């Protein structure tokens, strides 16, 4: 239960900063306000954002249940997580976050927010290859190497 509380806390902090506060700042700085009407772009944006949020939540739950840890780099899972969304791609949580951001960009029809999304993906990719993957190789060795050979980093394999 304590692992779940830690995971929810870390996820809320990450979501609050990276997916709510900073995007709101981007919208404010660029002068973009909420649309006054709901059209196809807003509906599509809400759907994409909801799918991204659902994927990210699924990842957090998977980390807690299977990995017995959290998504935070300073409190990682104790077991290598290769099931659930992690059986399709190695970084589904970041993909979910990026989808949520892209959905918000579509909802607001905001190019600056789309640029923030691209920046998020770039920073995330650099973090993954510079920190996460080397750390997981040290922690899990051959088991992680086999996982990497089987599951792609960002794009699922065709079945």
pTM for the structure as a whole: 0.89
Domain boundaries, the chain: 2-31+40-150
Least confident of 5-19, 24-38, 53-67, 131-145: 5-19
Residue 71 banded pLDDT, cuts 50, 70, 90: confident
d(CA 60, CA 58): 6
Mean pLDDT of the chain: 91
State which of 1-5, 76-80, 119-123 shows the largest mean pLDDT. Answer: 119-123
Backbone angles phi, psi at 106, to 5 degrees: -70, -45
Give the pLDDT mean for 11-16: 78
Q: What tens digit of pLDDT does each residue of 122-136 get?
A: 999 999 999 999 999
Whether 48 and 103 have beta carbons less than 8 Å apart is answered as yes
């Amino acid at each position: 239960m304590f692992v779940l509380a830690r995971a929810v806390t870390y996820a809320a902090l990450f979501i609050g900063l990276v997916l709510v506060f900073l995007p709101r700042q981007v919208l404010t700085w660029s002068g973009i306000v909420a649309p006054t009407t709901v059209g196809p772009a807003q509906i599509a944006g809400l759907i994409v954002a909801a799918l991204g949020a659902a994927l990210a939540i699924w990842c957090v739950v998977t980390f807690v249940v299977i990995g017995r840890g959290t998504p935070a780099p300073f409190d990682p899972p104790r077991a290598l997580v290769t099931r659930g969304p992690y059986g399709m791609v190695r970084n589904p949580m970041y993909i979910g976050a990026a989808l949520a951001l892209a959905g918000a960009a579509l909802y607001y029809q905001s190019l600056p927010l789309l640029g923030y999304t691209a920046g998020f993906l770039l920073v995330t990719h650099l973090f993954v290859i510079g920190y996460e993957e080397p750390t997981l190789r040290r922690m899990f060795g051959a088991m992680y190497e086999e996982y990497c050979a089987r599951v792609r980093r960002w794009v699922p394999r065709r079945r």
